[in-house]
Chains A and B, each alone.
Chain A
Protein backbone atom coordinates (compact mmCIF):
# COMPACT_ATOMS: atom_id res chain seq x y z
CA UNK A 1 0.00 0.00 0.00
CA UNK A 2 1.46 3.36 -1.04
CA UNK A 3 1.82 5.90 1.74
CA UNK A 4 -0.36 8.43 -0.09
CA UNK A 5 -3.23 5.90 -0.06
CA UNK A 6 -3.39 6.33 3.73
CA UNK A 7 -4.77 9.84 3.10
CA UNK A 8 -8.09 8.07 2.63
CA UNK A 9 -9.50 7.53 6.16
CA UNK A 10 -11.12 4.20 5.23
CA UNK A 11 -7.79 2.86 3.96
CA UNK A 12 -6.10 4.27 7.05
CA UNK A 13 -8.57 2.36 9.25
CA UNK A 14 -7.76 -0.88 7.41
CA UNK A 15 -4.03 -0.19 7.80
CA UNK A 16 -4.39 0.70 11.52
CA UNK A 17 -6.50 -2.38 12.29
CA UNK A 18 -3.83 -4.56 10.72
CA UNK A 19 -0.78 -2.86 12.27
CA UNK A 20 -1.85 -1.97 15.85
CA UNK A 21 -1.83 -5.55 17.29
CA UNK A 22 1.66 -6.23 15.87
CA UNK A 23 3.01 -2.89 17.04
CA UNK A 24 1.53 -3.51 20.49
CA UNK A 25 3.23 -6.91 20.68
CA UNK A 26 6.63 -5.53 19.61
CA UNK A 27 6.24 -2.67 22.12
CA UNK A 28 5.66 -5.12 25.00
CA UNK A 29 8.73 -7.18 24.01
CA UNK A 30 11.02 -4.13 23.70
CA UNK A 31 9.71 -2.74 27.02
CA UNK A 32 10.41 -6.06 28.77
CA UNK A 33 13.93 -6.10 27.31
CA UNK A 34 14.54 -2.44 28.24
CA UNK A 35 13.25 -2.82 31.81
CA UNK A 36 15.41 -5.92 32.30
CA UNK A 37 18.49 -3.97 31.11
CA UNK A 38 17.50 -1.00 33.31
CA UNK A 39 17.13 -3.15 36.44
CA UNK A 40 20.46 -4.88 35.86
CA UNK A 41 22.35 -1.69 34.87
CA UNK A 42 25.01 -0.56 37.35
CA UNK A 43 24.46 2.39 39.67
CA UNK A 44 26.02 5.70 38.74
CA UNK A 45 29.22 6.47 40.66
CA UNK A 46 27.81 9.81 41.84
CA UNK A 47 24.03 9.39 41.83
CA UNK A 48 23.82 5.80 43.01
CA UNK A 49 20.58 3.93 42.24
CA UNK A 50 18.58 7.09 41.50
CA UNK A 51 20.05 6.95 37.98
CA UNK A 52 17.34 4.33 37.29
CA UNK A 53 14.82 7.21 37.19
CA UNK A 54 16.66 8.41 34.05
CA UNK A 55 15.35 5.38 32.09
CA UNK A 56 11.83 6.86 32.44
CA UNK A 57 12.56 10.57 32.68
CA UNK A 58 14.67 11.01 29.54
CA UNK A 59 12.45 8.98 27.13
CA UNK A 60 9.31 10.73 28.40
CA UNK A 61 11.03 14.12 27.89
CA UNK A 62 12.02 13.13 24.33
CA UNK A 63 8.50 11.94 23.59
CA UNK A 64 6.89 15.09 24.98
CA UNK A 65 8.94 17.05 22.42
CA UNK A 66 8.60 14.51 19.60
CA UNK A 67 4.83 14.55 19.99
CA UNK A 68 4.71 18.35 19.65
CA UNK A 69 6.96 17.96 16.58
CA UNK A 70 4.42 15.53 15.08
CA UNK A 71 1.64 17.99 15.89
CA UNK A 72 3.63 20.80 14.22
CA UNK A 73 3.96 18.82 10.98
CA UNK A 74 0.26 17.95 11.23
CA UNK A 75 -0.55 21.66 11.77
CA UNK A 76 1.27 22.47 8.52
CA UNK A 77 -0.71 19.65 6.90
CA UNK A 78 -3.94 21.28 8.11
CA UNK A 79 -3.14 24.87 7.20
CA UNK A 80 -1.02 24.47 4.04
CA UNK A 81 -1.87 21.16 2.38
CA UNK A 82 -5.30 20.55 3.94
CA UNK A 83 -4.39 16.89 4.29
CA UNK A 84 -7.51 14.92 5.29
CA UNK A 85 -5.82 13.15 8.20
CA UNK A 86 -3.64 16.04 9.42
CA UNK A 87 -5.99 17.41 12.07
CA UNK A 88 -7.02 13.88 13.04
CA UNK A 89 -3.33 13.18 13.73
CA UNK A 90 -2.87 16.44 15.65
CA UNK A 91 -5.95 15.98 17.83
CA UNK A 92 -5.06 12.36 18.62
CA UNK A 93 -1.46 13.25 19.55
CA UNK A 94 -2.20 16.05 22.04
CA UNK A 95 -3.38 13.98 25.07
CA UNK A 96 -0.53 11.49 24.54
CA UNK A 97 2.05 14.28 24.43
CA UNK A 98 0.52 15.89 27.52
CA UNK A 99 0.72 12.59 29.42
CA UNK A 100 4.40 12.05 28.54
CA UNK A 101 5.29 15.66 29.39
CA UNK A 102 3.52 15.30 32.75
CA UNK A 103 5.46 12.06 33.36
CA UNK A 104 8.69 13.90 32.51
CA UNK A 105 7.86 16.63 35.06
CA UNK A 106 6.86 14.13 37.80
CA UNK A 107 9.89 11.85 37.36
CA UNK A 108 12.14 14.91 37.09
CA UNK A 109 10.83 16.16 40.45
CA UNK A 110 11.31 12.76 42.04
CA UNK A 111 14.85 12.63 40.65
CA UNK A 112 15.60 16.23 41.62
CA UNK A 113 14.76 15.86 45.32
CA UNK A 114 17.57 13.40 46.17
CA UNK A 115 20.06 14.92 43.70
CA UNK A 116 19.44 18.67 44.01
CA UNK A 117 17.68 18.77 47.38
CA UNK A 118 14.49 20.19 45.86
CA UNK A 119 11.48 18.94 43.87
CA UNK A 120 11.28 22.07 41.77
CA UNK A 121 13.30 25.11 40.77
CA UNK A 122 12.33 27.79 38.27
CA UNK A 123 15.28 27.25 35.98
CA UNK A 124 15.05 27.55 32.20
CA UNK A 125 14.83 23.81 31.38
CA UNK A 126 12.15 23.00 33.97
CA UNK A 127 10.13 26.14 33.24
CA UNK A 128 10.18 25.64 29.44
CA UNK A 129 9.09 22.01 29.96
CA UNK A 130 6.22 23.19 32.19
CA UNK A 131 5.24 25.67 29.45
CA UNK A 132 5.13 22.76 26.97
CA UNK A 133 2.73 20.93 29.30
CA UNK A 134 0.53 24.04 29.58
CA UNK A 135 0.57 24.38 25.77
CA UNK A 136 -0.67 20.80 25.47
CA UNK A 137 -3.52 21.60 27.88
CA UNK A 138 -4.29 24.72 25.81
CA UNK A 139 -4.54 22.74 22.56
CA UNK A 140 -6.74 20.08 24.21
CA UNK A 141 -8.99 22.82 25.63
CA UNK A 142 -9.25 24.46 22.17
CA UNK A 143 -10.34 21.20 20.56
CA UNK A 144 -13.01 20.81 23.23
CA UNK A 145 -14.17 24.43 23.16
CA UNK A 146 -14.87 24.69 19.40
CA UNK A 147 -17.67 22.39 18.28
CA UNK A 148 -16.94 22.41 14.53
CA UNK A 149 -13.88 20.15 14.03
CA UNK A 150 -12.65 22.08 10.95
CA UNK A 151 -12.63 25.42 12.80
CA UNK A 152 -11.12 23.80 15.90
CA UNK A 153 -8.41 22.24 13.70
CA UNK A 154 -7.34 25.61 12.25
CA UNK A 155 -7.27 27.31 15.67
CA UNK A 156 -5.33 24.40 17.23
CA UNK A 157 -2.93 24.36 14.26
CA UNK A 158 -2.06 28.04 14.76
CA UNK A 159 -1.50 27.52 18.50
CA UNK A 160 0.64 24.46 17.71
CA UNK A 161 2.85 26.39 15.27
CA UNK A 162 3.30 29.21 17.80
CA UNK A 163 4.03 26.68 20.57
CA UNK A 164 6.72 25.01 18.43
CA UNK A 165 8.98 27.93 19.40
CA UNK A 166 9.22 26.24 22.83
CA UNK A 167 10.96 23.13 21.38
CA UNK A 168 14.37 24.73 20.63
CA UNK A 169 14.07 26.70 23.88
CA UNK A 170 13.72 23.41 25.82
CA UNK A 171 16.57 21.77 23.90
CA UNK A 172 19.07 24.64 24.20
CA UNK A 173 17.91 26.09 27.55
CA UNK A 174 20.79 24.34 29.32
CA UNK A 175 23.27 26.02 26.93
CA UNK A 176 21.68 29.47 26.78
CA UNK A 177 21.12 29.90 30.52
CA UNK A 178 22.87 28.83 33.70
CA UNK A 179 20.57 26.05 34.89
CA UNK A 180 20.49 23.57 37.75
CA UNK A 181 19.51 20.94 35.17
CA UNK A 182 22.50 19.19 33.63
CA UNK A 183 23.58 19.84 30.04
CA UNK A 184 23.06 17.51 27.06
CA UNK A 185 24.72 14.14 27.63
CA UNK A 186 23.37 11.95 24.79
CA UNK A 187 22.76 14.06 21.65
CA UNK A 188 25.78 16.38 21.63
CA UNK A 189 28.51 17.24 19.14
CA UNK A 190 31.28 15.40 21.00
CA UNK A 191 29.20 12.22 21.35
CA UNK A 192 27.46 10.84 24.46
CA UNK A 193 29.12 11.37 27.83
CA UNK A 194 27.29 8.40 29.39
CA UNK A 195 29.08 5.09 29.85
CA UNK A 196 27.67 2.32 27.55
CA UNK A 197 26.41 0.14 30.44
CA UNK A 198 23.99 2.98 31.28
CA UNK A 199 23.55 4.40 27.77
CA UNK A 200 22.38 1.15 26.11
CA UNK A 201 19.44 0.54 28.52
CA UNK A 202 18.50 4.21 28.08
CA UNK A 203 18.42 3.90 24.28
CA UNK A 204 16.41 0.64 24.43
CA UNK A 205 13.89 2.30 26.76
CA UNK A 206 13.72 5.27 24.37
CA UNK A 207 12.88 2.89 21.50
CA UNK A 208 10.23 1.18 23.69
CA UNK A 209 8.62 4.51 24.60
CA UNK A 210 8.66 5.60 20.94
CA UNK A 211 6.97 2.35 19.86
CA UNK A 212 4.38 2.91 22.59
CA UNK A 213 3.76 6.40 21.26
CA UNK A 214 3.34 5.19 17.67
CA UNK A 215 0.92 2.43 18.77
CA UNK A 216 -1.15 4.77 20.95
CA UNK A 217 -1.18 7.47 18.29
CA UNK A 218 -2.43 5.10 15.57
CA UNK A 219 -5.11 3.80 17.97
CA UNK A 220 -6.17 7.32 18.96
CA UNK A 221 -6.32 8.39 15.28
CA UNK A 222 -8.51 5.37 14.53
CA UNK A 223 -10.82 6.40 17.39
CA UNK A 224 -10.97 9.98 16.13
CA UNK A 225 -11.97 8.87 12.60
CA UNK A 226 -14.75 6.74 14.08
CA UNK A 227 -15.85 9.66 16.32
CA UNK A 228 -16.22 11.85 13.23
CA UNK A 229 -18.11 9.13 11.43
CA UNK A 230 -20.50 8.90 14.43
CA UNK A 231 -20.86 12.70 14.43
CA UNK A 232 -21.68 12.72 10.72
CA UNK A 233 -24.31 9.98 11.12
CA UNK A 234 -25.91 11.78 14.08
CA UNK A 235 -26.13 15.00 12.05
CA UNK A 236 -27.67 13.05 9.17
CA UNK A 237 -30.14 11.45 11.56
CA UNK A 238 -31.03 14.84 13.05
CA UNK A 239 -31.55 16.46 9.62
CA UNK A 240 -33.65 13.52 8.45
CA UNK A 241 -35.95 13.69 11.47
CA UNK A 242 -36.42 17.49 11.32
Chain B
Protein backbone atom coordinates (compact mmCIF):
# COMPACT_ATOMS: atom_id res chain seq x y z
CA UNK B 1 0.00 0.00 0.00
CA UNK B 2 1.48 3.35 -1.08
CA UNK B 3 0.50 5.83 1.63
CA UNK B 4 1.30 8.84 -0.59
CA UNK B 5 -1.59 7.93 -2.87
CA UNK B 6 -4.23 7.83 -0.13
CA UNK B 7 -6.54 10.84 -0.32
CA UNK B 8 -6.77 13.04 2.77
CA UNK B 9 -4.30 10.88 4.71
CA UNK B 10 -3.74 13.46 7.52
CA UNK B 11 -7.46 13.38 8.37
CA UNK B 12 -7.52 9.58 8.53
CA UNK B 13 -4.31 9.40 10.60
CA UNK B 14 -5.60 12.20 12.84
CA UNK B 15 -8.82 10.28 13.52
CA UNK B 16 -7.02 7.06 14.44
CA UNK B 17 -4.55 9.02 16.60
CA UNK B 18 -7.44 10.72 18.42
CA UNK B 19 -9.11 7.33 19.01
CA UNK B 20 -5.84 5.87 20.33
CA UNK B 21 -5.41 8.79 22.74
CA UNK B 22 -9.01 8.53 24.03
CA UNK B 23 -8.89 4.73 24.49
CA UNK B 24 -5.44 4.85 26.11
CA UNK B 25 -6.63 7.66 28.38
CA UNK B 26 -9.68 5.67 29.52
CA UNK B 27 -7.59 2.55 30.20
CA UNK B 28 -5.02 4.63 32.12
CA UNK B 29 -7.81 6.30 34.12
CA UNK B 30 -9.40 3.04 35.33
CA UNK B 31 -6.03 1.37 35.96
CA UNK B 32 -4.52 4.24 37.96
CA UNK B 33 -7.76 4.75 39.89
CA UNK B 34 -7.91 1.01 40.72
CA UNK B 35 -4.34 1.14 42.09
CA UNK B 36 -5.03 4.33 44.05
CA UNK B 37 -8.17 2.92 45.72
CA UNK B 38 -6.48 -0.38 46.60
CA UNK B 39 -3.51 1.52 48.05
CA UNK B 40 -5.84 3.72 50.12
CA UNK B 41 -7.74 0.66 51.41
CA UNK B 42 -4.55 -1.18 52.28
CA UNK B 43 -3.26 1.91 54.11
CA UNK B 44 -6.45 2.20 56.18
CA UNK B 45 -6.52 -1.50 57.01
CA UNK B 46 -2.85 -1.35 58.04
CA UNK B 47 -3.81 1.40 60.50
CA UNK B 48 -6.47 -0.89 61.95
CA UNK B 49 -9.51 0.94 60.60
CA UNK B 50 -12.26 -1.63 60.06
CA UNK B 51 -15.88 -1.45 59.02
CA UNK B 52 -18.56 -2.43 61.52
CA UNK B 53 -19.66 -5.11 59.08
CA UNK B 54 -16.14 -6.34 58.42
CA UNK B 55 -16.45 -9.64 60.31
CA UNK B 56 -17.28 -11.72 57.26
CA UNK B 57 -14.48 -10.20 55.20
CA UNK B 58 -15.49 -8.73 51.87
CA UNK B 59 -19.19 -8.37 52.73
CA UNK B 60 -20.02 -4.74 52.03
CA UNK B 61 -23.37 -3.53 53.46
CA UNK B 62 -25.84 -2.16 50.96
CA UNK B 63 -25.93 1.26 52.64
CA UNK B 64 -22.20 1.58 52.01
CA UNK B 65 -22.61 1.04 48.29
CA UNK B 66 -25.26 3.76 48.31
CA UNK B 67 -22.56 6.07 49.60
CA UNK B 68 -23.66 6.14 53.21
CA UNK B 69 -21.08 6.02 55.96
> Given the complex of chains A and B, what is the CA–CA distance between A152 and B67 in angstroms?
10
Contact A50 B37 (CB under 8 A): no
Chain B 1-35, CB-CB to A under 8 Å as 1, else 0, gives 00000111101101110110011011101110110
Q: Quick check: B65 and A13 within 8 Å, CB to CB?
A: no
CB 8 Å contact bits of A36-59 with B (1 = contact, 0 = none): 000000000000111011001100
Question: Of A175-183, A194-202, A224-232, which binds chain B?
Answer: A224-232
Chain B residues with Cβ under 8 A from A107's Cβ? 15, 18-19
List residues of B whose CB falls within 8 A of some A CB: 6-9, 11-12, 14-16, 18-19, 22-23, 25-27, 29-31, 33-34, 37-38, 40-41, 44, 47, 49-52, 58-60, 62, 64-69
Shortest Cβ gap from B9 to chain A (Å): 7
Contact A52-B12, Cβ < 8 Å, known A223-B30, A233-B44: yes
Q: Are A103 and B18 in contact (CB under 8 A)?
A: yes
Task: Check A9–B51 contact: CB distance below 8 A.
Answer: no
Nearest A residue to B14 via CB reads A110
Complex-state Cα separation, A153 to B66, whole angstroms: 9
- Rounded to whole angstroms, the CA-CA distance of A74 and B6 in the bound complex is 44
Q: What is the bound-complex CA distance between A110 and B18, given in angstroms?
A: 10
B69 touches A111 (CB 8 A): no
Partner of B29, one of A95, A234, A237: A95
Contact: B65 with A223, CB < 8 Å?
no
Are B68 and A150 interface neighbours, CB within 8 A? yes
- Residues B51 and A232 in contact, CB atoms below 8 Å apart: yes
